[in-house]
Each structure stands twice: as structure tokens, then as C-alpha cells.
Chain A
Amino acid sequence: SQKIEQNSEALNIQEGKTATLTCNYTNYSPAYLQWYRQDPGRGPVFLLLIRENEKEKRKERLKVTFDTTLKQSLFHITASQPADSATYLCALETGANNLFFGTGTRLTVIP
């Protein structure tokens, strides 16, 4: 069956360090992989998209990698800040244009 796993439910990290979140999938062949941020009680907000033929994408302090051989994406936040504390969701897009979401990782950046 199809499955999307994000490495852990919760991740605590010290301010200023790099946070690394993992998204693993099985039985998908995604054309695109997306990352979203969700704050408590609010809707997700799109952050980054990476295509299957791209290895890496950057946006300010964010970096995403996509390894279709390992079926894995890594999401990095460098120089993390308390304001980065949120739940981060990965989502796979197949050719049907629908998104399949992981369960999310709750990141807490400790001052």
C-alpha cells in the first residue's frame, strides 16, 4: 500500500542550529514533492516544491533535497529561530494532480 512517513512526530532543536526533517515514501512515483508549514489551529502554508528531476532547492534559510532512488526528501532549516516552531508537512503529487500528505513533524526551536 502507499505510504508517506515523516521521521518523527516531534523534533526539538536549539536556536541557531540546523533542523533536518525527513520524508520517506513507498509505492509512489511522485512527479513533485512539496513542503508545507502548519501552525496550530490554522491551515497549511506552502513553502517549497521540488521536481523529480531536481536534486536540491533553496529558499532563504530553507533547503529541500529529493532522492527518487532512496524515495526520500530532506527538509533543512538553517539558523533556526523560535518563530520556526510549527508542524511541517510533506506532500507528494502524482500525475493526477492530487496531493498525498504525510502526518507531519512538529518542530520546536528552543531559545
Chain B
Amino acid sequence: DGGITQSPKYLFRKEGQNVTLSCEQNLNHDAMYWYRQDPGQGLRLIYYSQIVNDFQKGDIAEGYSVSREKKESFPLTVTSAQKNPTAFYLCASSNGGAGGHNEQFFGPGTRLTVL
């Protein structure tokens, strides 16, 4: 089955701890994205990567970090510097504009709760 997976589905963290969210895709997509979704707000872009070993900050990158060592994987670390980390986190991938558009395929999401 081709697709994009995120783990875990639910994650609890104590204040002051870093936590890493996993995102894997087997769609052979070049581009991958991390979004955050809060109630009543649209998806906001945290980081994106158009190619392996390269990534750029999105609109709300502060307190987050990423790596892109493999095409299939784009893990997101929520650091203790993120002031309000409780949210629903969504990972997505796409062909990155090949063919002229950027339909994105989303994972099932990880709900992070900071206790």
C-alpha cells in the first residue's frame, strides 16, 4: 500500500521535554511538509523540504526542528522552546510542483498534548 504514515497517533509530553514526531512516505515524493492545526484555525506551515538534505522554515518554525536525511522520512522535533505545543500535527508529501501543481497527500496526524 502506498501512503504516508505518522506515529504515534497520540502523544503526551511533560513541559520542558523535547519530543520527535515521525513521518514516513513510500510515494516517492520529493517534497514533504509539516503543518500544525489548532481549533478554529487553518493549517499553518512549520517546515518544508523540497529535496533530501534540504529544508526551509515555514510560517511558524520557532521552537521546532526537522531533518531530511532520507527521501522517505521527515521527522519533526518539538523542542521545549515551543511555547504552546499542544496541537494536531499533520505531515504531507507531494511531487513538489512536478507537472505544474502541488496536490498534497496527508498522513493521519499526531495529536500532541503537553501536560
Contact = CB atoms under 8 A, between A and B. Distances in A.
26 contacts: A4-B42, A32-B101, A32-B102, A41-B111, A42-B108, A42-B109, A43-B90, A43-B106, A43-B109, A46-B103, A49-B101, A49-B103, A89-B42, A89-B43, A93-B102, A97-B50, A97-B97, A97-B102, A98-B33, A98-B45, A98-B48, A98-B58, A99-B43, A101-B44, A103-B40, A103-B42
A34 interface: yes
A41 B109 contact: yes
Nearest to A90: B42
A110 interface: no
Interface of A: 4, 9, 32, 34, 41-46, 49, 51, 89, 93, 97-104
Contacts of B103: 34, 46, 49
B42 A44 contact: no
Contact of B41 (A46, A98, A103): A103
Contact of A101 (B31, B43, B48, B97): B43
A82 to B, nearest CB: 23
The 3 nearest A-B residue pairs measured at CB: A43-B106, A101-B42, A97-B97
Contact of A44 (B40, B106, B111): B106
Given A4-B42, A98-B48, A104-B42, A45 B101 contact: no
Given A34-B101, A45-B106, 15 more contacts: A32-B101, A34-B102, A34-B103, A41-B88, A43-B108, A43-B109, A44-B43, A46-B103, A46-B104, A46-B105, A49-B101, A93-B101, A98-B48, A98-B102, A103-B42
Contacts of B107: 43
Nearest to B92: A43
A99 B104 contact: yes
